[in-house]
Amino acid sequence: MTTMGILRIALYLAVVFLLVKPLGAYMARVYEGKRTIFDPVLRPLERLLYRLSRIDPDEDMTWQTYTVAMLVFTLVGMLLLYALQRLQGVLPFNPQGMSGVSPDLSLNTAVSFATNTNWQNYGGETTLSYLTQMAGLTVKNFVSAAVGLAIMVALFRGLARRTAQAIGNFWVDTVRGCLYILLPLSVVLALALASQGVVATLSPYKTATLLEPTSYDQPVTDANGKPVLDAKGQPQTKTVKVTEQVIAIGPAASQIAIKQLGTNGGGFFNVNSAHPFENPTPLSNFLEMLAILVLPAAVCYTFGKMIGDTRQGWALLAAMTLIFLPLLAVTEGFEQGGNPLFAAAGVDQTASALQPGGNMEGKEVRNGIVDSALWATATTATSNGSVNSMHDSYTPLAGMVPLVMMHLGEVIYGGIGSGLFDMIVFVILAAFVAGLMVGRTPEYLGKKIEAFEMKMATVVVLVMPTVVLIGTALGVAIAAGRAGVANPGPHGFSEILYAFTSQGNNNGSAFAGLNGNTPFYNDVGAVVMWLGRFWEIVPVLAIAGSMAAKKKVPVSPGTLPTHTVQFVLWLAAVVIIVGALSFLPALALGPIVEHLLLQAGTVFK
Amino acid sequence: MWDVLIVALMLLLFVITLALVPGLTRLMGR
């Protein structure tokens, strides 16, 4: 990697970490109901929302009430998004005349955006109306992110309160997350992106006449849209001459801002932030990358503030960074190293003033190796899922890093809110195991860890691997699953594994190379996304309720300190061990064997 | 027809998740 590349990564991480404390402290104030600089504008709006919705903001909810409110809110939003897609053909703000989305694709997209996954089996510019993008997807981007934050602060309260029955008010937490955190940041980022050239318009798509007309072979289809085959059983094609190009535009800037900040990741355009209208300049690329990581990192400080011990928050951030940096180095190193078969063929893959070098397949030349690999690592460390390059084209081990990031449970910064509450579950596991190993009382922040918390922590840790591996097994075993794969051999397996890993972890990034818009992938994916999100959240809220009801045990010589370097190392080890035990066999069948075969010169055609 | 089945699937996912609440409450013992 070049010196300039290392400096760019260092600058990026420095800005992220510099923002952790001020942003984290601000978020703590928001969730503690303290005064903020936006109060003169937003407090009246907040009160109006409560009045209109008949919400009592002073109600303190038990974990059960909190959970039911969250589930009902999600269900209603999901049904509305489903209806919006199905009916978009007869609704306004549809200048391209998009017809209603098919039932199975509508299901997948509705669950995807309700679960903060934002997996996209559709192409935004070819499938959805402006109304669906704005009133459906963008709204869900805000509320699903705010729900993640709400669950997180409910867990914080469970750890901070003593002998309490309640963990906060779901409605207040969600409204405050949207109004005071996501909305102001999104407005600033949307304006900044628009200034860089990200499109923001309700005008119809533009048509341009090509300076150099081109032609291509198009499959011939029958009246039912099925390919017509020739005598040899091959699809018939006809040559089509192209003289014009339709240029898709739309209200993108506002959606891009929240898709990055809310760790949503669903692009306005099909190729996401690789599209020049979604990510046009180096500055827009930097701002969008910054938005991926900044909130998931800052909530660590929020945690410390809300439990009254910022050392605990810094310890979690340190453990996350300890795993993030080596994996980032792996991605950057293998991508910069390039393809060994190209090297054998005499292709120059060396970085120089004239070229970025390395493996540039699937990458924008303007982003090069460094920013593409940094984005790929950050977007899968968090549950963002936006992309500025195609992970399918990465060298096998560099492409494995996004998989590993997700297989670790997306706790390396993780999704907005969800990353930290999952990391705290790992802390409970680590503290319990370490406590037993060294003869200390298993406790965290003065709360004893008992059988119920351990059972719930185990459920949370096991749900994701279970749904991911069952989904992948189905994809491999069933013809409908194999039919979606573009590549033979281990790479094809990686494509299926990536699809279910991304959906089961509510990440949403695509490996590419897999045709996911089929009834099988739409329906099974929807179930995987739902279970991966809410079968983790409900046990987490149960832990919050259980912890809130406990007394605080005073610190004693028997207390296991959880803010030390040793504990940070131990926590990182537990995260890696659990992830490796769950997924190493699957990785061995995909990217690892592909890497070994590639080194030996074996490719699959 | 497909719409009815898909809405039913969404409701089923909701119900089986909602059912965790009383189940976990009993497991918690309060």
What would the DSSP string read from start to end of A465-519? HHHHHHHHHHHHHSHHHHTTB-S-HHHHHHHHHHHHHHHHTT-----SSB---SH
- Please say if the pLDDT value at position A15 is more than 60: yes
Contacts of A534 (CB under 8 A, 6+ apart): A71, A74, A115, B17
Chain B residues within an 8 Å CB radius of A64:
21, 25
The beta-carbon contacts of A203-207 under 8 Å, at least 24 apart in sequence, are A203/A95, A203/A249, A204/A95, A204/A96, A205/A95, A205/A96, A205/A125, A205/A246, A205/A247, A205/A248, A205/A249, A206/A246, A206/A247, A206/A249, A207/A244, A207/A245, A207/A246, A207/A247
Q: What's the pLDDT tens digit per position in A19-44?
A: 999 999 999 999 999 999 999 999 99
Q: Are A415 and A423 in contact (CB under 8 A)?
A: no
B30 has a pLDDT exceeding 70: no
* Extents of the domains making up chain A: 19-204+250-302, 206-247
How far apart (Å, rounded) are the C-alpha atoms in residues A70 and A421?
16
Decide: A562 and A445 in contact? Cβ < 8 Å.
yes
Q: CA–CA separation, A377 vs A515, rounded Å?
A: 23
Neighbours of A209 (CB within 10 A): 8
State the Cα torsion A461-A462-A465-A467 to the nearest 10°.
-120
Q: Residues near A237 by Cβ (< 8 Å), separated by ≥ 6?
A: A217, A218, A219, A220
Cβ of residue B19 closer than 8 Å to a chain A Cβ:
no
pLDDT in tens, A457-467: 999 999 999 99
CA distance A456 to chain B (A): 9
Confidence of residue A49 (pLDDT cuts 50, 70, 90): very high
Cβ pairs bridging A and B (under 8 Å):
58
A605 pLDDT higher than 80: no
Mutate to test the interface with B, among A452, A459, A536 (most CBs of B within 10 A): A452
Q: Which residues from chain A sit within 8 angstroms of residue B2, using beta carbons? A: 103-104
Report the alpha-carbon distance of residue A512 to residue A499 in Å, rounded: 9
Whole-number Å distance between alpha carbons of A599 and A421? 40
- Taking only the tens place, the pLDDT of each residue in A541-573 is 999 999 999 999 888 888 889 999 999 999 999
- Cβ atoms within 10 Å of A494's Cβ, excluding its own: 30
| Chain A residue at shortest CA distance from B24 | A542
Contact call for residues A200 and A190 (beta carbons, < 8 A) = yes
Q: Say if residue A226's pLDDT is above 90.
A: no
From residue A185, alpha-carbon distances to A114, A188, A189, A191, A512 in Å are 21, 5, 6, 10, 30
Residues of chain A found within 8 Å of residue B24, distances taken between Cβ atoms: 456, 538-539, 542
Q: Burial, A122: exposed, middle or buried (Cβ in 10 Å; 0-12, 13-18, 19+)?
A: buried
**pLDDT tens digits, one per residue of A408-462:** 999 999 888 999 999 999 999 999 999 888 887 789 999 999 999 999 999 999 9
Q: Are A529 and A119 in contact (CB under 8 A)?
A: yes
Considering only CA atoms, give the Rg of chain A.
24
DSSP H or E stretch at residue A214: strand A206-219
Question: CB contact, 8 Å: B8 with chain A?
Answer: no
Condensed to tens digits (0 to 9), the pLDDT of residues A376-410 reads 999 999 989 999 999 999 999 999 999 999 999 99
Q: In sequence order, what are the residues at sequence separation of 6 or more whose Cβ sits closer than 8 angstroms to the Cβ of residue A362?
A: A389, A390, A391, A392, A393, A394, A512
Q: Are A391 and A399 in contact (CB under 8 A)?
A: yes
| Secondary structure letter of residue A32 according to DSSP | T
**ipTM more than 0.90?**
yes
From chain B, pick out residues whose CB is under 8 angstroms from the CB of A111: 10, 13
Which of A75, A103, A530 shows the shortest C-beta gap to B6? A103
Considering CB atoms only, which of A82, A106, A452 is closest to B27? A452
Contact status, residue A509 vs residue A380, Cβ threshold 8 Å: yes
CA proximity to A260, closest of A234, A223, A285, A283: A285
